[in-house]
Structure formats: C-alpha cells, structure tokens
Amino acid sequence: MNCEEYRQAIAEDPSFDGGAGHLSECAACQDYRAEMQALDQRIGRALALDVPELVLPELPDIESDNVVSLVRGRRFSPPTWLAMAATVAVAAVLGVRLIGGGVEYESLADEVLAHLDGEPHALVVTDVAVTDEQLHDVVPAEIAELDHSAGLITYARSCPINGHDVPHLVIQGQKGPITILLMPEEMIDAAVTLSGEHVKGVILPVGNGSIAIIGELTERLEDVQQEVLNSVTWTT
C-alpha cells in the first residue's frame, strides 16, 4: 500500500487500520491519519447538535370540491428535514468540504489551525532535541538552510499542507511549545493572523513562500518571529 492508496482509504473511513504496515514506516501518513480522525471527531460533535422538535402549523379545513389536483411530488418526512438541517449545520460548523480523498479548507489559516488540532502529540514540553539526521531529513538542503538560532527544536516531521509536504517543527518557548511550519510554496501578499481557541499565531510572507508561527495565547511570539526568520533561508 502506497501513500495515495492509504490516504484514500483513511479519508473514506477514519477508523481504517488495514494499512498498519505502511503506517509504521510513513510518518507523513501517521500525521494525515491523526488529522482525519480529529476531523471525524469534530463532525461527530456537530451531528450531536440538539435539534428542536419540529412543530407543524395547523392547516384550515379545505373543501375538496374546490381543490384542483396537481401532480404529486416527492414529500420529505420530518426526519428527512431534520437530517438535512443537521447536514447544513455540519457544513456551517466545520467550514470544510470533502472532495475526493482529501480535505479542502476555506483558507490557508484554517488548514494550519486544523493541522495543529490533529497533532497534539507534537506539543510536548521537553528539553530533548531532535537529532541532526532527523532535522535534515525533514528540512533537506533543497528546501532551506536552517540553523538552531530560533531555539531548541524538539519535533520535526513532514506534514501535508494544501497538497504539499512541508516541514513541521516545534521549538520550546517561554510559555510552552511553539509550532513552526515552513511553506516554501505558499506565497501570500501580507501577514495573516491566526486565532484559535487556545493558540495564536501568524503566517508571514517570506520570499516566494511563507512561514507560520503558532504558540500559546500568553506567548510573546514577537520575541521569536525575527529569530525564526533569521534562521531560515530558502534554497528553492
């Protein structure tokens, strides 16, 4: 099973475990599986919305002699209408559309925040750095030249963002872990503010690409933004 086949299967059924062999060897698909399962949980919570009982109005008596027969169309029963309402609610709450085997988000900012929700295991407070070998595998020389001036790098994985595998790094900040996404193929015109339930951040335009920096609500990201920018040089 290759990555495309596995991601198609997990997109159709987030509980799919038939690709255990592939999953044990592919970190990118591990992250994709976690993201899809997090999305499945959000859909489940949306479907659990409390829908009020449908009350139909009383209709006046109609004399059958004065009624003109029309072609009978298909009518929806109350349960069908409730199901349709729940579907609309899901779309409104999630703001995403399932297309084929992937997920399309309304904006790059929405996808970045959703990706963080799908990888809570990355946000661990630790003083153990990733190895240089792992860091170079995730950030190869053809993508960027990266030094350690931004801080202690404790997490490094290649993760899917907008159809591209990008370096997902975590450094240790003053208030907790800080996520850094290097996106050399995501060009933006101006900085984009990120605002989540428990996090805040920014996507900064850098050359022909961009860099996302996200941390705790109380983290002073301004103190690390310039250090992060100075530590990364695009080579693509």
Q: Which of 6-20, 94-108, 195-209 has the lowest mean pLDDT?
A: 94-108
In this predicted structure, the answer to whether residue 45 has a pLDDT above a threshold of 70 is no
pLDDT of residue 120: 87
Segment 56-72 mean pLDDT: 61
Segment 108-134 mean pLDDT: 91
In this predicted structure, the answer to whether residue 74 has a pLDDT above a threshold of 60 is no
In this predicted structure, the answer to whether residue 189 has a pLDDT above a threshold of 50 is yes
In 3D space, the residue among 143, 96, 134, 89 whose CA is nearest the CA of residue 115 turns out to be: 96
pLDDT of residue 11: 74
In 3D space, the residue among 144, 160, 166 whose CA is nearest the CA of residue 228 turns out to be: 144
Q: Quickly tell me which residue has 């592939």 as its tokens.
A: 22
Segment 125-144 mean pLDDT: 91
Write the CA distances from 215 to 180, 185, 198, integer angstroms: 9, 23, 9
* Pairwise pLDDT comparison (24 vs 62), residue with the higher score: 24
Percent above pLDDT 70 for the chain = 73
Cα(171)–Cα(152) distance, rounded to whole angstroms? 5
Question: Tens of pLDDT along 4-32?
Answer: 677 777 777 777 777 777 777 777 777 77
All structural domains of the chain with their residue ranges: 1-57+77-106, 123-236
pLDDT of residue 179: 96
Percent above pLDDT 90 for the chain = 39
pLDDT of residue 98: 40
CATH class of the 123-236 domain in this structure: alpha beta
Q: Which tokens sit at 207?
A: 């050359």
Segment 35-61 mean pLDDT: 69
Task: Please state the pTM of the whole predicted model.
Answer: 0.59
Give the amino acid at 89.
A
Segment 39-48 mean pLDDT: 71
Q: In the predicted model, what is the mean pLDDT of the chain? A: 79
Yes or no: say if 96 and 103 are a contact pair by the CB < 8 Å rule: yes
Q: Which of 48-52, 158-162, 187-191 has the lowest mean pLDDT?
A: 48-52
Q: Strand pairing partners for 201?
A: 194, 214
